[in-house]
Amino acid sequence: MAEQQQQQQQQQVAAKKSLISRPLDLVYFLYFATHIPVTLAIDFQVFCPPQWVPQVLKDALKFYTETYKDPFMGSSAPTYWFLSFIVCELLVQLPFFFIACVGLFKDSKYIRLPLAIYGAHVATTVLPTIAEVLFNEALDLNTAERQTLFGFYAPYFILPLIITVDSFVRINNYLKVDVSTKKTQ
């Protein structure tokens, strides 16, 4: 029995592939790795005292909000539902970005369930933002501005949705292997 477990562990170690050989995981890794500086440099500004934020980062946010008229990042009046999403990003997602990078780099099967949860969470928080941008006529945006903002927000909906579905499929595959292994023992 112990010998079989040892063989299974050796097979699992041997089955792990490098991140470069897993293109979808590489995309996920790059998504999480690049999300870290953006979250810290841009999104965190919403809650930081202005004197703590370097001028170059203030200028970057100002350029973005003035150029693309993002009604949420550049709003002088707080949009509380959106701010609650930013709080989730800072307190829940930001720590997870690091965990996801490590788990993906190590090809850990244990990262799949947290990835599925992350993807579902993010997709359901970005969708209302997209809906507001596209359909809220009270926002002072023309069609081109709405489409541009949609272009900025859509990848943060689509990729987490792909992460969710992909993780669900991989988790199911792990469960099938585990069940079939137990039946043959």
* DSSP symbols for the chain: -HHHHHHHHHHHHHH---GGG-HHHHHHHHHHHHHHHHHHHTGGGGTS-GGGS-HHHHHHHHHHHHHH--TTTT-SS--HHHHHHHHHIIIIIHHHHHHHHHHHHTT-GGGHHHHHHHHHHHHHHHHHHHHHHHH-TTS---HHHHHHHHHHHTHHHHHHHHHHHHHHHHHHHHHHHHHHHHHH-
Tell me the pLDDT tens digit for each residue of 45-102. Answer: 988 888 999 999 999 999 999 999 999 987 777 789 999 999 999 999 999 999 999 9
| This prediction's pTM | 0.83
How many CB atoms are closer than 10 A to CB 182? 8
- The mean per-residue pLDDT over the stretch 108-119 comes to 97
- Residue 76: per-residue pLDDT: 77
- Residue 16: per-residue pLDDT: 83
Band of the pLDDT at 25, cuts 50, 70, 90?
very high
Band of the pLDDT at 10, cuts 50, 70, 90?
low
73 compared with 106, residue with greater pLDDT: 106
How many angstroms from the chain centroid is the CA of residue 95? 11
